[in-house]
Structure 1
Amino acid sequence: MDSIDAILGDLPLPPYVTAEDVGFAIRAVTVHAAEQWPDGQRCRNDRAAHPCRLHRWGRRVLDQRGLTDRQVQLLVAEQTAPRP
């Protein structure tokens, strides 16, 4: 966890998770994916230690919605698939 994460803490979850929140969460997990760096895994988007705040928020939203890891992987794959 980066020092800024220690200061700011995690992003709050919505009071109830809507379909729109799920879309935002999938986008956050996709954009803030892990990337290997010499000093370890970092967020592809902001270079913070992985998982960064937005990736953690996205996963917590998806967990709250009741999605399994497999379902999340499928949704991420849909987001990253090339469009015809």
Structure 2
Amino acid sequence: MDSIDEALDEIPLPPYISAEDVTFALRAISVHAAEQWPDGPRCRNDRAPHPCRLHRWGSRILTMRGLTDQQITTMLAEQEAARP
């Protein structure tokens, strides 16, 4: 088995998306970003084929919240700038 992603189902979404869920989703996308490997893009955190489960979950949360790609990119940059 190539990765744990193949053995597990998708992470369930909450019944409604809170501001806290958006924060967690942004963090998931940031931590589980793509990294180029000889066999293709893999998750920087768990080396699963990209996008991994947590990256997909974060993307689904933000999409359900109605955020555009530009808004997500801006929020990720702001989150990165706020880290110590």
Provide TM-score, normalisation by structure 2: 0.90
| Paired residue total | 83
Q: Residue type matched to 1:20 in 2?
A: E
**DSSP 3-state at the match of 2:28:** helix
Name the residue aligned to 1:46: 46
In 1: Cα distance, 2:82 partner to 2:14 partner:
30
For the pair 1:5 / 2:10, whether they are aligned, the reply is no
**DSSP 3-state at the match of 1:46:** coil
Shift of 1:69: 0.5
1:83–1:25 CA distance, 2 compared to 1 (3 A): closer
Shift of 1:5: 2.2
Moved over 4 A (4+): none
* 1:1-84 mapped onto 2 (5 Å cutoff): 2=2, 4-81=4-81
> Unaligned stretches of 5+ in structure 2?
none
Shift of 1:81: 2.4
TM-align CA RMSD = 1.6
> Unaligned stretches of 5+ in structure 1?
none
Q: CA offsets, 1:34-79, max 9 Å, x none? A: 0101111000111110000000000000000000010000011112
Contact 1:43–1:50 (8 Å) recurs in 2? yes
Determine what percentage of the aligned residue pairs are the same residue.
70
Contact 2:34–2:50 (8 Å) recurs in 1? yes
Shift of 1:83: 5.1
Q: Residue type matched to 2:4 in 1?
A: I
In 2: Cα distance, 1:40 partner to 1:57 partner:
21
